[in-house]
Amino acid sequence: MHDARALIELGDEAVRRLARRGYSLDLSSLEDLQSRRNESIHSADELRSEAKSVAQQVQQTAKAGGDASALKETARKLKEQIRETEAAGERVQAELRDFLLGIPNLPSDEAPDGNSEEFAVEVRRVGNPPAFAFEPKDHVDLGEAMGILDFARATKLSGPRFSVLRGVGAALERALATLFLDIHTRRHGYVEHSVPFLVTRKTMTGTGQLPKFEEDLFATGVAERELFLIPTAEVPLTNLYADEIIPADELPLALTAHTPCFRSEAGSYGRDTRGLIRQHQFAKVEMVRLCAADQSRAELEKTVGHAEACLKELGLSYRVVMLAAGDTGFSAQLTYDLEVWLPSQQTYREISSVSDFGTFQGRRAGIRTRGADGKTQPVATINGSGLPIGRTLAALLEQHQQQDGSVVLPEALVPYLGFRRIKADGSPEA
């Protein structure tokens, strides 16, 4: 969320930057709301000051033995005026907050112009896409032929866009999650967490999923209690520190968790709905970093490197792109996507998104630190996938497939699996 004063001070510059992401800022409405809020605060303060003065006069008159009835009536009326003015102030404050909650983050000027993935700028490519002497299969055909992926039974259980992994498929899913957690905790200093998968509306609002993206969330409730299934561990990990002041010498904080993620994926269609690429439920290892505002850009680059380490460990060909301003997520100011090569589609597909949110989420969630001047200020937040299990599994099957229908797995997974090859019949082979 933005500081209204900062947006107003930026003025036309804020309008320009938000227009790059397709958002039209109604600056006059914002200025009006801020002015009304300030006026209500000023009026309430003046009335309280007047009420205090009248109360003193009542005491003095009573002490002198005079008639204070008129003064008491004035005090009563002032008390009522204060109550009405404060209520009006709370209403305009709520209106201002709702207005600010709907404004996306200001995109960084580093982000290229454009409003879709075609405007993303490639930063680097790592590894050469594998060349096959045969027609490569997609992960669905491979996995179902092996008997390690079962989409039909998943549909029977829950409807479309779910999956069942069986045998070595389930073992591979578990091994990937453990490998990623080990990389982040042992090499990169992240602290692993086990967090709730159901969170409150306030928690979802803190990281920017609400109010704008409610239709994309799965919600549940018992009696009067409303809870949302997390779309990513970013939500509980970031909000662990909501409404807290983190000592400056404890920053940056590096947090990670392996959780299921739940998304309605409204509007996705076509190739994305086949297989493990875009599902209603999937598992992911998430990275979150909290830092001082002036360190967020450097922390973003660091986090991208941590996600890349997972792909390199698995010998996967990928590229890094910087998203265009109009394709950057609501809460982010700058985003890198890591895209892994999928031979069946002959293209790179997103496997990790790593974003710098600046102080946007810190302000929304009330996560603060103290500056050198002793004043509190919102922290900056960074988050990224490190990595989603399903998409990684799909890339592994496709990039490491063999002509006989088997898959040779990278050496890094052998300690976690106890085998190096998945034979065409789905059985493991050392």
DSSP output for 364-426:
HHT-EEE-TTS-EEEPEEEEEEEEEHHHHHHHHHHHTB-TTS-EEPPGGGHHHHS-SEE-TTS
Identified catalytic residue from 21, 363, 368, 391:
391
Q: How many residues does the chain have?
A: 430
Helices (H), 183-295: 201-206, 234-239
Q: Is 165 exposed, middle or buried, given 0-12, 13-18 or 19+ CB atoms closer than 10 A? A: buried
- Choice among 352, 353, 355, 406 that is catalytic: 353
Indicate if 278 belongs to the active site: yes
Catalytic residue among 173, 308, 350, 398: 350
The residues facing 341 across adjacent strands are 348
Residues forming beta bridges with residue 376, ordered by sequence position: 370
Annotation says 350 is catalytic = yes
Q: Which of 20, 278, 297, 349 is catalytic?
A: 278
Selected catalytic residue, list 263, 297, 363, 364: 263
List the one residue out of 96, 101, 81 whose CA is nearest residue 37. Answer: 96
Distance CA 45, CA 38 (A): 11
Q: Which residues pair with 246 in a beta bridge?
A: 369
In the structure encoding, which two tokens stand for residue 133, read together? 């002497």
As a whole number of angstroms, the distance between CA 401 and CA 382 comes to 35
| DSSP 8-state code for residue 325 | G
Is 40 noted as a catalytic residue in this protein? no
* Active-site residue list: 263, 278, 350, 353, 391
